[in-house]
Structures are given as structure tokens and as C-alpha cells.
Structure 1
């Protein structure tokens, strides 16, 4: 009997990378972002007010260049083997004790991503349930109820993929993908830079 062929239909690609130079850049970025946050009450939620990557600072320029390279790597890794023209909208996030981000996605964008400047260890979290995962990010299967008839060892069985990121890591995913950020239970702030990748349209993008 011939060997069967299997095709993974409609995969959702998530890219994860640790940036070289992060140990040197992160303390500088953290100080800069915390200084910006002190002057803007709603900096984290008012993400359309300016573009963080327009800020003229060497550490911000370093991060912008890393994101630009990562977007090209994501495209190549997912089979897009031609030049793409895009802009980046970036904003800093400061999440203190009790802060979190509800389930959401990022409309009008091609990709979304986050770079992690500081992720508290959570050792100072108050007592509570053992299944808590402070500062983790969860991604959810974009196909509703795809796991309804999944059985053990079926890759569709868990509709949630949860990651506890580390400082210096960057995640990039399709902007349509719903995700949420778990609550920070540390007295130390979680600091990150999120971004959207918006395509400048070309007819060459048409399938």
C-alpha cells in the first residue's frame, strides 16, 4: 500500500526570535519608555497618538531596524519570496500591577508583533491559584470550534497557545489572530513595544 500524503491546511504562523544586542538596549529602552509614560497618563492605551519609531533615539532606531529585518524574515519563512512595501506603527506599553490586555486583534494591518523590554519574574506575586500565568500572552485558534471533536494527541485539541515571553524576545503573528495578555501580578512594571505592519498596497500582492 502506498504511503499517504498529509497536508497541513491553513496554518497560522507565529515567529519568535531573541534579538542580538537586547541586553545592552533594554535598560536604555526601559528608562526612555518609563520617562515617556510619566508624562502621558494614557500612553499604553492611546496607541494611535504618534509613532514610537519616529522618536529620534539610537535605541529606538536599533529596535526599528530589528523589526524591519524580522518582517522580511517572517515573509520569507511563510513563502512570500518577493519584495513587500510596508510601514510600521509602534507604541510602548507599561503594565503595572493589575494591568492586562483584553482579547483583541489588530484590524487594518497585515502583521502584529511585540518586543519585550522587561518581563517581571512574578516571584513577588500575591498568593493565589496555581494555574495563573502572569505576564503571559495567549493566542487563540482563529477557526471557531475547531477543537469540538478533537481527541487526545490531535493538534486541534487546545484552542489556546500560551507563551511566557522573556526580555529580548520578539513575537510576530498575523494581525487577524485574537490574543490577550495576562495580568501583571508583580510590583515591577512589564515593559514592551508593540507594533503593526501595514502594507502599502501593490497589485503584485494579489494571489
Structure 2
């Protein structure tokens, strides 16, 4: 009998934010994101200048946990989730540890999208979801081998999930998703009339 096994696994972590303390009130987090977006003139200017749909604090605010207590609590929770994921990944961190590198708000209006990208210089990246209205776009993950497949035929749409070239995930509010930062991903167009709000982050090793 032939032996077939899966090699070089790509791991994805999904959990409720509430798995760890302190508990985060999703409504309070959403209100905080909206207030920050309204007050962040530098972020608004950057988004307009760079043709960014909606709002992101990525290029303007680097100290959300220092400015807003709910973000300090959020980082405490995320630290626990990232530690759990790192344990599953069986990382040998030696004397180092995974530390938050940056954290930012994303608000995508109807028609907004984030094109395919990865997060260089980081180890683990992720997002927690603050507002996901009906029809809001999922997260799209790309098979990291796709650039090496060359003349390979396409996969059957009914094929096994782990063999698909793209995986679409529809998270719920207060979910947290984690993946290794080299994994290419994108947010397809928001087809909802309401805003899709999330908080994304990177962790580095040091």
C-alpha cells in the first residue's frame, strides 16, 4: 500500500478573545476604535494621501496601549494567545520571547479592501475582529507554495480543505486569528454597507 503524508504544515490559530483575562468588552472596543479614528487627523491625512479606503492607524499611532487602557488590556490578552500559538508551533525561543511590535486599527467601509500582503520582520501576525456586519469580507489566506506550482493543474473545488490554494475565513466579533507572518493574506472587498472594524498586530522575536 502506498504511504501518503502531509508535510510542512501551515498552522492557523483561531480562538475567542475571551479565552484569556482580562475580559474585553467588544462594544467598548468598537467605540474606542471609532473615537480614535475620528480624532486621528494624521491618520486620516495619511489614508487620503495614500488612497487607503476607510481608516487605519498603522502610519500614525504607535502607542495605542499607552494612550487607551482598553488597548493595554487587549495587549495583555493577545500576549496569552500568542504564547499559546507559539507553544503549538513548537518554537525554540531560547532566551528570547515574542513581544508586541505594533498594533493598529482598521476600519473598512463598503467597497474597501486590503490587497494581498505579508508582514516582513515579524514572527506572528494576527487580527481580532471588532465589527463584522452581515456581508463583510472574510480573511483570505494563500497557499505559500503558490509561486512554485508553475504548471500544476488547478485543484478540484470539492477537494480537501488543506489542498485548496486559498482558504476563506469568516471570523466572528471578538475572535482572534493568528498566523505566521510570512503567510500571504488579504481582505476581499467589503460588500456590506456597514463598516468592518478590526485590530491587527505583529509580534517579533527578541
Q: TM-score range by the shorter chain?
A: 0.7 to 0.9
Cα contact 2:129–2:173 (8 A) shared by 1: yes
User: Could you list the per-position Cα deviations for residues 83-140 of structure 1 after superposition, in whole angstroms to 9, with x for gaps in the alignment?
Assistant: 6413211001111111110011111111110000110113xxxxxxxxxxx4111000
Q: CA deviation at 1:183?
A: 1.5
Matching residue within 139, 143, 159 for 2:165: 159
Question: So what's the TM-score if we normalise by structure 2?
Answer: 0.79
Can you list the C-alpha shifts for 1:140-174, whole angstroms capped at 9, x where unaligned? 00102549247654666420000011101000001
* TM-score computed with the length of structure 1 as normaliser: 0.79
2:17 alignment partner, one of 16, 19, 38 = 19
SS at match of 1:162: strand
The SS at the match of 1:55 is: helix
- Structure-1 residue corresponding to 2:52: none
Aligned to 2:111: 98
Which consecutive residues of structure 2, in runs of 5 or more, have no partner in the other structure? 48-54
After superposition, the CA RMSD in angstroms is: 2.6
In the superposition, relative to structure 1, how do residues 22 and 98 fare at CA in structure 2: closer, same or farther (>3 Å)?
farther
Partners of 1:162 and 1:194 lie apart in 2 by 18
How many Å separate the matches in 2 of 1:71 and 1:54? 17
* 1:68 aligns with one of 79, 94, 101: 79
How many residue pairs get aligned? The number is 187
Contact 1:16 1:172 in 2 (8 A): yes
* 1:22 to 1:117, Cα distance in 2 relative to 1, 3 A: farther
CA distance in 2, matches of 1:22, 1:118: 20
Any unmatched runs of 5+ in structure 1? Answer: 123-133, 201-207
Q: Which residue does 1:204 correspond to in 2? A: none
When residues 159 and 25 of structure 1 are mapped into structure 2, their CA distance, relative to the original with a 3 A threshold, is: same
